[in-house]
Amino acid sequence: MAPSSNVDVLIIGAGPAGVMAGNALASAGVNVRIVDKRPAKVMAGQADGIQPRTIEVFQSYGLARRLIERGNQMHSLAFYNPRKDGKGVERTSRVPDVTAPSARYRFEVTLHQGEIEAIFLDSMREHGLEVERPIVPESIEISEDVEELASKDSYPVKVVLRHLADATLETAPNGVHTNDIDPAIESSSSSLETVHAKYVLGADGAHSFVRGSLGIELEGEHTDHVWGVVDCVPVTDFPDIRNRTAIHSDFGSCMIIPREGDKVRLYVQIAEELQVDEHGRKDRSAVTPEKVMEMAKRSMQPFNLEFPDKPEWWTCYVIGQRVAKNFSVKERVFIAGDACHTHSPKAGQGMNASMNDSHNLAWKLAHVLRGWASPELLKTYELERRKYARDLIDFDKKLADLFSGKAVTTENATGVSHKEFQGLLQSMGGFTSGIGIQYAPSLITDPTAQSLAPGLVIGQRFLPQVIIRVADTRPYEIQDLLVSDTKWKVVFFVGDPKEEKQQAVINAVGEHLLCSKSFARRFTPKGAAQDAVFTLLTVSSTSKDDADYTDIHPGLRTHWSKAFTDDLAIDGRAGGTAYTTYGINPSSGAVVCCRPDGYVSFVCSLQDVTSGRLEEYFGCFMVGASA
């Protein structure tokens, strides 16, 4: 008989979406397993761009330093278009690569996918989680039993896993580290195991087995866009080889992505008609790395481009612009990443979108598994991430059309103008950087009192600002206090407690928080640490020279390290602009709730606290301690 076991969360697929979820859940102490069909991690190639918002997310897990140290930073974006004299291309403009003024990191990082995954694999290992490989699911069944599905203690998802014999990762003859299982592995000796899971996450890529076996359909088209990609170290006099560069030439379009070390990635859209095989798939065998490099060379004329060495990696792939109809079945099985959405690589979104799906889901699963929140919370995953995926496809379509179109010239007056292309990229800076992503109103996102803090947009990530810790005047980036530890952060902008009137308001809030009906007491499990679910922070408007952490009522001050003020740091380099940036009036203050994934979800006044508004808000989805 096949061995059988129970697990709280089973993750299928250890690509960017899978390892982000694995790390978030393992570091939260959730009972989780992660399996992958590959015998080893990705060795080279595939996705490589990490956007500003995703760097912030890495930082919230304590993982940004390694990413930034090992990766390449892209600060500028250059545009090249045909010269009027017909002799190749010339630079039309050079602009900042990131056009999101509020980004904490004003650049993108490029590093190959395997290195990025390794950051998570190492972190997961520290939390006792290893990827089990090579393993594939054979079947997935979700119980139909209503009681079983409703119970928080049941394991209603049955997955049969096939453990494949160990094998080394084969490299396909064309140099691509293939994502498909080597047939030799499939037919080799293997064994079966049955896993009963509370929840399953299918993070198994564009050809997702999980999606397919649950009958989740994809909406959208399998486009004709074929991309040739090479990772290489060219010798060139092209001046922008170390900047992200979009080239529109008479010989086609090319995108340059500078990478770690001297490496460069070249993307070339294959314009020619490719043969279609009997399954309707484009025959990509006609595309070779030499051909991709030749096309890049031609589009970069009159500059020289030579390739003294063989490319480190190359691929040729057809892009589908598709979104899954559902991201979950019965809120027991979820899909994330390429399993839910695929699009072109031009906007550098693939890995970012995938990891941010899991970042969105992981804390919600942890909350429900711990009995902190009602399973209704899980519905917000699809609501939030599917809307984002649809917006991404719409953007990708516009960009693809402009990128594939011929550049405007005297002969081709209807072609794509430089202004049009640059305009789209810059106007969508908030979206492409991930900074402007906004989640729709839901039971966790309540924009009713937005006017109390108009600079902190409800549904968007918490804006970075430097604040000063009162006890020791140490400056802190507020985002570093809003870490991804599955806890809610409730930030009390208390104004100036040195003013008598405001002190009275603060004291009333503190007294309210000390009573058993307050949200922090009601929704923290009995016997758990006082700050197990909620971290309470205060930000006053008192000058750092006068402020004392003891000014804050004990009900609001759970520890000296949680009291901050909005003032210039001692070195004068940052700080003192939080109230203004967030649009909060220091004479009245405000309370801002930040989700465990760093998104602003609710705002109310200090007076609202004493009238029970926070209990009302959290009561919509959190489960009371006595329940």
List residues binding ligand FAD (CB under 6 A).
12-18, 35-38, 46-47, 113, 136-137, 179, 203-205, 209, 229, 315, 317, 337-339, 345, 348, 350-351, 354
Q: C-alpha dihedral over 334, 335, 341, 346, to 10 degrees?
A: 120
Short-list 21, 32, 28, 20, CA closest to 116? 20
**Shortest distance in whole angstroms from residue 188 CB to ligand FAD:** 16
SS3 156: coil
| Position 539, amino acid | V
| Position 321, amino acid | Q
Q: Which C-beta is closer to ligand FAD: that of 56 or that of 108? A: 108
Collect all residues with Cβ–Cβ distance below 8 Å to 394 and sequence separation of at least 6.
none
Q: Which C-beta is closer to ligand FAD: that of 551 or that of 597? A: 597
* Cα-Cα-Cα-Cα dihedral sign, residues 291, 236, 317, 139: positive
Q: Which C-beta is closer to ligand FAD: that of 92 or that of 315? A: 315
**Shortest distance in whole angstroms from residue 361 CB to ligand FAD:** 13
Tokens of 487: 């806890």
Q: Are 94 and 75 in contact (CB under 8 A)?
A: no
Collect all residues with Cβ–Cβ distance below 8 Å to 451 and sequence separation of at least 6.
none
Q: Which C-beta is closer to ligand FAD: that of 345 or that of 430? A: 345
DSSP state of 590: E
**Shortest distance in whole angstroms from residue 620 CB to ligand FAD:** 31
Q: Which C-beta is closer to ligand FAD: that of 145 or that of 221? A: 221
Q: Which C-beta is closer to ligand FAD: that of 161 or that of 509? A: 161
**Shortest distance in whole angstroms from residue 268 CB to ligand FAD:** 11
Q: Which C-beta is closer to ligand FAD: that of 182 or that of 615? A: 182
**Shortest distance in whole angstroms from residue 271 CB to ligand FAD:** 18
**ω before 497 within 30° of 0 (cis)?**
no
Active site annotation includes 48: yes
Q: Which C-beta is closer to ligand FAD: that of 18 or that of 430? A: 18
**ω before 302 within 30° of 0 (cis)?**
yes
Q: How far apart are CA 321 and CA 318, in angstroms?
A: 10
Q: Of these residues, 259, 265, 469, 522, which one is catalytic?
A: 259
Q: Of these residues, 36, 38, 48, 338, which one is catalytic?
A: 48
- Listing DSSP states for 501-529 in one string gives HHHHHHHHHHHHHHSTTSHHHHTS-TTS-
Short-list 13, 325, 324, CA closest to 140? 13
Q: Which C-beta is closer to ligand FAD: that of 162 or that of 522? A: 162
| Position 348, amino acid | G
Q: How far apart are CA 307 and CA 302, in angstroms?
A: 16
Helices (H), 319-466: 350-369, 379-404, 418-427, 429-432
**Shortest distance in whole angstroms from residue 450 CB to ligand FAD:** 33
Q: Which C-beta is closer to ligand FAD: that of 179 or that of 561? A: 179
* Cα-Cα-Cα-Cα dihedral sign, residues 252, 257, 258, 264: negative
Residue the block writes with tokens 């959190």: 622
Active site annotation includes 259: yes
Q: Of these residues, 105, 267, 549, 579, which one is catalytic?
A: 267
Q: Are 203 and 18 in contact (CB under 8 A)?
A: yes
Cβ neighbourhood burial of 517 (10 Å; 0-12, 13-18, 19+): exposed
Element (H, E) at 244: strand 244-249
Q: Of these residues, 82, 311, 345, 464, which one is catalytic?
A: 345
Q: In what order do the strands lie in the sheet with 313-324?
A: 89-96, 76-82, 244-249, 252-258, 264-270, 218-232, 313-324, 341-342
**Shortest distance in whole angstroms from residue 205 CB to ligand FAD:** 3
Distances from the Cα of 272 to the Cαs of 290, 316, 321, in angstroms? 15, 13, 20
* Active site members: 48, 259, 267, 345
